[in-house]
């Protein structure tokens, strides 16, 4: 491969670093809020400029070539230096605060890593955290009380960026055959949760004799009832533990759904940013969706669009914490 006469654009280096960090073009695209094809084109342009390949493609991922390994530390230094120059010239903001809503059950999982990294890397910024039921967050976002929140939308819209997806399964206790009881004991979310009606609709259509024996506003309450052998319930597959198992009873209604986490912006008309969907899934492709926890940006004022918010120091740090540490993917 021969080098062309193009300039080495810093954006190409940022794309290279994102793909290298993620280990795939799709992962790099998600980190940059760009389409996979756009990221692939940028990598091709970088390789054309250098006259060497920086990645070897294999399966669904990539591995750095020897040239890529040599470029990595140099690219990091250049990007860090440019970021520092911009920060010095722009000056520190008078006041920077991120208002985050997070479900109570995540207060000892995702939240510690977010707070630790945020404080370390953004010492002059402040974080306001609301730990409560995620059902409160849509109203809080709309009212301007929160900038970002993890919560469960009924539908994935065209303004959503899917960053994680996994199967939803009927689950029960490892130590009890609860699924054989009749009426079938079921644990569901509280009445204020849209997913409750979705589960009830599936059960009614199945013709099974069932009884609601436990309700909870949080997934942790439903999970506790299932683990204790009180009831069965629907959970993300990643929640299976040494006390909770997936049920294979063919009499249970088929879910055919997935838990999906998305990044959402309420206003995108001024950005022209292409929405990233989970691979092979389009917006509202599956109307029978299980609840997925969602990162939602309020989308007004200084952070008037999704891309600008997540490229701001606060938003970018929060996004990278979730991506780099796999916190979002492990949340449920």
pLDDT at residue 260 above 70?
no
Specify the number of domains making up the chain: 1
Assess contact for 165 and 260: CB atoms under 8 A.
yes
In angstroms, the CA 284 to CA 178 distance is 33
More confident residue, 180 or 258: 180
Is residue 208 within 8 A of residue 251, CB to CB? The reply is yes
**The CATH number of the domain where 27 resides is what?**
1.10.10.10
Mean pLDDT in residue range 190-215 = 86
Asked whether residue 223 carries a pLDDT value surpassing 50, the answer given is yes
Whether the Cβ atoms of residue 125 and residue 153 lie closer than 8 Å to each other: no
Question: What's the pLDDT at 208?
Answer: 92
Most confident of the ranges 84-98, 110-124, 234-248: 234-248
| 186 occurs within a structural domain | no
Q: Are 24 and 61 in contact (CB under 8 A)?
A: yes
**What is the 8-class DSSP label of residue 107?**
T
User: What's the pTM?
Assistant: 0.54
Look up tokens 């049920």; give the residue.
Answer: 247
Question: 203: which residues sit within 8 A by CB, 6+ positions away?
Answer: 184, 186, 210, 253
Residue 327 lies in a domain: no
Q: What is the DSSP letter of 153?
A: -
Q: Give the residue-averaged pLDDT of 171-185.
A: 95
Whether residue 173 is predicted with pLDDT greater than 80 in this model: the reply is yes
**Residue of higher predicted confidence among 37 and 276:** 37
Does residue 46 fall inside a structural domain?
A: yes
Q: What is the pLDDT of residue 261?
A: 53
Within a domain: 85: yes
**Residue 28 domain-assigned?**
yes
Structure tokens at 5: 């006469």
Query: Residue 231 pLDDT > 60, yes or no?
Result: yes
- The partner residues of 232 in beta bridges, in order of sequence, read 186
Question: For residue 215, what pLDDT is reported?
Answer: 92
| Domain contains 98 | no
Q: How far apart are CA 229 and CA 79, in angstroms?
A: 53
Which residues are paired to 162 by β-bridges? 262
Cβ(276)–Cβ(35) below 8 Å: yes
- Using pLDDT thresholds of 50, 70 and 90, give the confidence band for residue 278: very low
Confidence tier at 91 by pLDDT (50, 70, 90): low
- Percentage of the residues of the chain whose pLDDT score is greater than 90: 29
Q: Answer whether the bond into residue 183 is a cis peptide, omega within 30°.
A: yes
The pLDDT-based confidence of 189 (bands split at 50, 70, 90) is confident
Min mean pLDDT across 54-68, 91-105, 274-288 is at 274-288
Q: Is the distance from CB of 310 to CB of 263 less than 8 angstroms?
A: yes
Question: Which of 180, 198, 199 shows the shortest CA–CA distance to 251?
Answer: 180
35 or 96: whose pLDDT is higher? 35
> Range of 72's domain?
10-90
84 versus 165: which is more confidently predicted?
Answer: 84
Q: Tell me whether residue 259 is exposed, middle or buried, using C-beta atoms within 10 angstroms of its C-beta: 0 to 12, 13 to 18, 19 or more.
A: buried
Mean pLDDT across the chain, nearest whole number?
73
Per-residue pLDDT, averaged over 24-28, amounts to 87
User: Is 152 contained in some domain?
Assistant: no
| 297 domain residue, yes or no | no
The predicted pLDDT at position 136 comes to: 79
Q: What is the pLDDT of residue 331?
A: 35
């Amino acid at each position: 491969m021969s080098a062309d006469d193009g300039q080495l654009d810093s954006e190409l280096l940022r794309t290279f670093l994102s793909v290298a960090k993620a280990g795939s073009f799709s992962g790099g695209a998600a980190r940059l809020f760009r389409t996979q094809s756009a990221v692939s084109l940028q990598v091709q342009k970088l390789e054309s400029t250098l006259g060497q390949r920086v990645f070897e493609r294999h399966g669904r991922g990539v591995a750095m070539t020897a040239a890529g390994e040599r470029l990595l530390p140099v690219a990091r230094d250049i990007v860090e230096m440019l970021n520092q120059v911009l920060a010095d010239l722009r000056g520190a903001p008078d006041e920077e605060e991120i208002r985050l809503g997070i479900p109570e059950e995540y207060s000892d999982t995702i939240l510690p890593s977010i707070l630790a990294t945020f404080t370390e890397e953004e010492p002059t910024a402040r974080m306001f955290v609301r730990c409560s039921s995620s059902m409160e967050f849509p109203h809080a976002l709309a009212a301007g009380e929160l900038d970002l929140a993890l919560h469960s939308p009924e539908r994935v819209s065209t303004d959503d960026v899917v960053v994680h997806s996994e199967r939803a399964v009927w689950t029960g206790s490892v130590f009890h055959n609860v699924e054989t009881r009749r009426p079938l004991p079921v644990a569901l979310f509280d009445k204020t949760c849209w997913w409750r009606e979705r589960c009830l609709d599936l059960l009614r259509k199945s013709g099974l004799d069932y009884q609601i024996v436990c309700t909870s506003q949080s997934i942790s309450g439903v999970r506790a009832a299932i683990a204790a052998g009180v009831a069965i319930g629907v959970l993300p597959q990643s929640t299976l533990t040494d006390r909770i198992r997936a049920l294979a009873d063919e009499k249970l209604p088929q879910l055919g759904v997935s838990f999906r986490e998305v990044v959402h912006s309420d206003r995108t008309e001024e950005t022209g940013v292409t929405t990233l969907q989970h691979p092979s899934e389009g917006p509202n492709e599956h109307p029978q969706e299980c609840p997925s926890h969602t990162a939602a940006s309020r989308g007004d004022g200084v952070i008037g669009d999704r891309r600008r918010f997540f490229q701001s120091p606060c938003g970018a740090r929060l996004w990278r914490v979730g991506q780099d540490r796999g916190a979002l993917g492990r949340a449920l």
